[in-house]
Amino acid sequence: MKLCFFSANFVPHHEMLIRELIENNQAEIHSFYISENFTYVPDDISNLFLYKKSELSKMEILRKVLQINPLILFVAGYNNKDFLWVSTRVKRLLNIPVICGSDTQWRSTLKQRIRILLAPITIHPAFTHFKVAGIYQYEWARKLGFKKEKILFDMLSGDTKLFSSIDIEVKRKKYPKNFIFIGHFIEIKGIRFLLDAWAKIDDKKGWTLTLIGDGVLYDQIQKRDDIIIKCFMNQALLIKELENAGCHILSSTFEQWGLVIHEATCAGLPIICTNICGAAPHFVINGYNGYIIESGNTNQLKIAMEKIINSFETELIRMSYNSRKLSTRITQEISVASLLSVIK
């Protein structure tokens, strides 16, 4: 089974999808990649054939795809003009499913409205299907004019096996009183919003706040003496941080998806996140495993954190297990099954 991928960078969830296809579905993957922002390329995977886009013209890419004759062409987005040009011709010449992956939310911006008007001559000729991350992205695919039966779900999955290896039962001995944030220290992640809410909590009852990441706001927030700051780390070290955390917070003022929410639920953490996060309706249920709050509402975030702080440990353990249950809504296996479902 031969499949072709057009992608920008080899981020972890993309690599896991490829590994799942090869290891458990006997696939042969031909990946045409850009890798401008990230230099990492997984060159240790058998049956993965790599082609760097900058070394090929769009005509050469088309010829290679036609020669490979894949069952599916999966394209990570619609912004690259060369990939779009090739996809349009592959769809017409091979008559195979050409799938566009998207984590874009419908936001009713001028740019999106223009995109909708142009979709019949730019997007529809190139793709047979849209594969979306979740329901917020489904709304965008429908706006673009794709029929319900042409929209696939579950594009993004965290490493469910890795993060689910954390033992929740260990926390019964002494529940870790530590809020954890993982992400870039930039305005859109709601860092100031989070720190303001934290400062307004009078009685923290021994709870701490740990921020893991980096970014332009680092120099400002490192002056705070009421938080713990750590740099980005590999997943082996991150597992240890999640084991020592009692609740995960994603305070973003905008977040197309938020894969870290999925990873945190796999790890068995109660979640506090904003309603703008694309992953929120899939992995967080108010009162069940955490709280969804309004983006930018400092008072709501303060109240949600205080609810966690004032909860009995037995309640936090219950929420932890509920998070893990919700994390199974999307897995690498499910994501691959959705992708392959279009094969006739």
Contact of 38 with 11, CB cutoff 8 Å: yes
Could you give the CA distance from residue 270 to residue 159 in angstroms, rounded to a whole number?
18
- Residue 27: band (very low, low, confident or very high) from pLDDT cuts 50, 70, 90: very high
Quick one: pLDDT at residue 234? 87
- Residue 38: band (very low, low, confident or very high) from pLDDT cuts 50, 70, 90: low
Quick one: pLDDT at residue 41? 85
Long-range contacts of 287-295 (CB under 8 A, 24+ apart): 288/319, 288/322, 288/326, 289/265, 289/319, 289/320, 289/322, 289/323, 289/325, 289/326, 290/247, 290/319, 290/323, 295/190, 295/252, 295/253, 295/254
The per-residue pLDDT for range 4-23, each reduced to its tens digit, is 999 988 888 889 999 999 99
The per-residue pLDDT for range 121-168, each reduced to its tens digit, is 999 999 999 999 999 999 999 999 999 999 999 999 999 999 999 999
The per-residue pLDDT for range 83-106, each reduced to its tens digit, is 999 999 999 999 999 999 999 999
The per-residue pLDDT for range 203-261, each reduced to its tens digit, is 999 999 999 999 999 988 988 889 999 999 988 899 999 999 999 999 999 999 999 99
The per-residue pLDDT for range 164-197, each reduced to its tens digit, is 999 999 999 999 999 999 999 999 999 999 999 9
Superfamily of chain region 160-327:
Glycogen Phosphorylase B; (3.40.50.2000)
CATH number for the region 2-157+331-340 comes to 3.40.50.2000
Quick one: pLDDT at residue 37? 66
Q: Which percentage of the chain shows pLDDT scores above 90?
A: 92
Residue 36: pLDDT above 80? no
What global pTM score does this model have?
0.94
Q: What angle do CA 67, 72, 73 make, to 5 degrees?
A: 75
Quick one: pLDDT at residue 223? 87
Could you give the CA distance from residue 313 to residue 174 in angstroms, rounded to a whole number?
9
The per-residue pLDDT for range 282-338, each reduced to its tens digit, is 999 999 999 999 999 999 999 999 999 999 999 999 999 999 999 999 999 999 999
Could you give the CA distance from residue 141 to residue 36 in angstroms, rounded to a whole number?
27
Residue-range domain boundaries for the chain: 2-157+331-340, 160-327
- Residue 344: band (very low, low, confident or very high) from pLDDT cuts 50, 70, 90: confident
